[in-house]
Copies of this chain bind each other. A is one copy, B any other.
Amino acid sequence: MTVRQLSLPELAKGLVELGVPGVGLWREPVAAHGLAATARLVRDAGLRVTTLCRGGFFTAEEPAERAAALDDNRAALDEAAELGTDTLVLVSGGLPPGSRDLFGARERIADALAELLPHAAERGVRLAIEPLHPMYAADRCVVSSLDQALALAGRFPAERVGVVVDTYHLWWDDRVADGIARAGAEGRIHSFQLADWTTPLPEGVLNGRGQIGDGAVDFRWFDREVRAAGYTGPVEVELFNEGLWARDGLEVLAETVARYRAHAL
């Protein structure tokens, strides 16, 4: 999504040229390019698919809506398996319209995870709960802290349900070091994602994630913490940024790699 202006073949070629060994994919561009074609493309390019984004949206109260969400997540698990990634990132869902019941919404997430577990196990794909910044609690994700994500994940086996550590969502939280240490000890850090926090936030607060190094996040601190917690997996850079999307995609890709090396290693 960092360079969504690129087609998947352009992206794969650009990554290989830059020496980037893997890529996190979103379902929409995969569907547009074709699932089998995408699987072939990344395999032929020698790229590892680090994660598939995203499943989730588990908080609906309506039975039909809830059943549709679960079906969609089963489809996402199938897609993840076909792409050869072991991790499906979950954006768990916000409050249903008119609801003010955060507790109930969080419990419905746990119920949905329990229902998905057999299918996830069958496909060999892990469910990675991503705590989103608290500014998304109402409309996107009622899981707002690493502690909450771990409390949910902790009800299930670590090899099946874990968490995403994303700097954009967690950088402000003085409890995050403890959370990362605990997540690592439990074997539940299933993904590590980077984005910087820049202000002012844009309307709707979705597409203002800063390029690495432009904002308030101390990436070296995060990198140190996740490694100290035992994480040895891939590092993803996931930027939703209108400014970056308006630029030449390959230039942004190269800049992102350079910024990562300058600020996060």
Contact = CB atoms under 8 A, between A and B. Distances in A.
Contacts of A145: 173-174
Interface in A135-183: 135, 137-139, 142, 144-145, 148, 171-174
A173 B106 CA distance: 12
Contact of A205 (B106, B201, B216): B201
A218 interface: yes
Nearest to A218: B100
Contacts of A100: 216-218, 221
A102 interface: yes
Nearest to A221: B100
Given A144-B172, A173-B134, A174-B102, A201 B203 contact: yes
Interface in A183-223: 197-205, 215-218, 221
Contacts of A202: 203
Dominant secondary structure at the A interface: loop
Interface in A96-139: 99-103, 106, 133-135, 137-139
Nearest to A170: B134
B203 A172 contact: no
B205 A138 contact: no
Given A216-B95, A217-B100, A135 B205 contact: yes
A103 B174 CA distance: 8
Contacts of A217: 100
Nearest to A201: B205
Given A201-B201, A202-B203, 7 more contacts: A103-B174, A133-B134, A133-B135, A137-B216, A138-B197, A200-B204, A201-B205
A215 B174 contact: no
A49 to B, nearest CB: 31
A89 B18 CA distance: 51
A215 B102 CA distance: 13
A95 B218 CA distance: 12
Nearest to A197: B138
Contacts of A200: 139, 203-205
